Structure 1
Amino acid sequence: MHLIAAIVLAASLATAPAPAAEPDPRWEFFTADKTYYRSPWYRHAHRIMIPFGCTRAPYYSPDPRCVKKRGFHHGIDIAMPCGTLLRSNRRAWVVSNDSLGPAYGANPILLRNYKYRFDLVIGHTRRVFVKPGDRIRPGMALGRASDSAAPDGCHLHFERRALAGSVDTAVFPRKMLRLRPKG
């Protein structure tokens, strides 16, 4: 009887949701949005640190599209504890990240979807589980969140670009991420 109870307890602990992690003291939010968002790309709900578009975050050079000499952020940064698992929500191929600069961290992931003609840059990753040439399917583990090249703590950067496009082709990635408020 004790063996059965131990097995049931172990199974319930293994499937129980993880407790909320402590916030990273370095997190700085450059948005008034205090909503926590869920996404199939990661577990639990997290806040947006820097939204897409004009931002008061000090890391970006002034951009003519923005007022008050603000910079332009080409993706969405989502605050999450270091080590948070990143899973794909799209079919794609992993391509070389050689075209990406150091601002994306040491191990950014560059996914390419030929059918829908887009690239997805995922920055600030560590323990990347995929390599160029890998075919990605929904649900596959890609890597973990980190603070590599991130002055404001652990997070993931998501940036949708045109197929083989530069940063100048980046578009609003929110729909692709399927962000939905925690409810």
Structure 2
Amino acid sequence: MEKQIHFIVTGERGAIRSFAVSSKTIKVMLGVCCFFVLGSGFGWFSSGENIVLRKQLAAVQKDLVGTAALNASMQAHAVKQEREQQAQLNAALTDLKQKSQAIESILASVGVNLEVHESAKGAGGPFTRRPQESYEGLTLKVDHYLDTIQSVPLGAPVRGTITSQFGSRLDPINGEPAFHGGVDIRKQLGAKIIAPADGVVVTNGFDRGHGNFIVLDHGNKFQTSYLHLQKDFVKPGDTVSRGQVIGLMGNSGRSTGAHLHYEIKYRDKLLDPVRFIQVRPRVVAVPQKQATVKAL
């Protein structure tokens, strides 16, 4: 027989009531109460946890907004920096192009046509055509031109007057037609002769035709010669700098008076030195095939 629990309830007027509840029913009621208690506790806990999660979510969203703003700022800065770099590159390209054209103009005025050659040895990889006016291409060209211009003997090796120019002339001693391979610059005896470009002394010495002479190699196929010197201050193998005094004007060898016979060779071909002298802005032309020239 199932156990029961009896409950007796008395009223204020003395009425008595009683009822019995089985133990199974009580257990069910206790289970329901426990369920509601646990459910309420879990709900409270979940509610508290949700509040924390919502706060964390809000913080994350705030961080995301800040990160997005920072990213937008960085992108704007990168775009600005890229534009500035592009502007600087364009300015550098313009500057290189102007320098290249200026050097080309100088070299063209003296009859020197330079081309930049790249080695064809060693190859491989896909072909990518380089832009016509790329920074690298202009840099290569200008570097080559600058290296060459250092070797070009610009200006006059001595202050003085050109008395005989390059080319055909009547020989001043025998009066016969002859070819003059340089220019004669007249100045007083002992005037200083300077190197018009950096170079190395190839040879010096004396012979009856040239008198005391010096030959300089300036690199890039340029050579200069100085004849009829009174004295020289260099020897073969010496390195000289542009503007360095290398000798004194004289009247040695086959000469009719104090002067310097000055020659320029490029690729073993004689060139007119006047074209190199007149590149300098201080050259002053004089009529009747005479010109007053000034040293560097």
For Structure 1 versus Structure 2, the TM-score category normalised by the shorter chain is 0.5 to 0.7
How far does residue 155 in structure 1 lie from its aligned partner after superposition?
A: 0.2
Other-structure match for 1:42: 158
Larger Rg: 2
Other-structure match for 2:208: 102
Paired residues of 1:61 and 1:72 also in contact (CA < 8 A) = no
User: Please, what TM-score do these two structures have when normalized by structure 1?
Assistant: 0.62
Aligned partner of residue 96 in structure 1, secondary structure = strand
2:171 to 48, 51, 57: 57
Which string of whole-angstrom CA distances, capped at 9 and with x for unpartnered residues, describes residues 100-138 of structure 1? 853211x201001222x1211110112211111011111
1:132 to 219, 236, 250: 236
Other-structure match for 1:170: 270
Higher relative contact order (CA 8 A, sep 6+): 1
RMSD across aligned positions (CA): 2.5
AA aligned to 2:210 is: Y
Which string of whole-angstrom CA distances, capped at 9 and with x for unpartnered residues, describes residues 68-107 of structure 1? xx21100000111110011112011101246x853211x2
1:143 to 218, 239, 247: 247
Gaps of 5+ in 1: 1-38, 63-69
Other-structure match for 1:85: 192
Aligned partner of residue 175 in structure 1, secondary structure = helix
Distance in 1 separating the partners of 2:190 and 2:223: 24
Task: Establish whether residue 114 from structure 1 lines up as the match of residue 219 from structure 2.
Answer: yes
AA aligned to 1:148 is: S
User: Please, what TM-score do these two structures have when normalized by structure 2?
Assistant: 0.39
Aligned partner of residue 170 in structure 1, secondary structure = strand
In proportion to residue count, which structure has more helix?
2
Change (3 A) 1:172 1:101: farther
How far does residue 42 in structure 1 lie from its aligned partner after superposition?
A: 2.1
Q: Which moved more, 1:81-90 or 1:50-59?
A: 50-59
Gaps of 5+ in 2: 1-154, 285-291
Paired residues of 1:50 and 1:57 also in contact (CA < 8 A) = no
AA aligned to 1:41 is: P
How far does residue 177 in structure 1 lie from its aligned partner after superposition?
A: 3.2
**Number of residues of Structure 1 aligned to a counterpart in Structure 2:** 129
Distance in 1 separating the partners of 2:254 and 2:175: 16
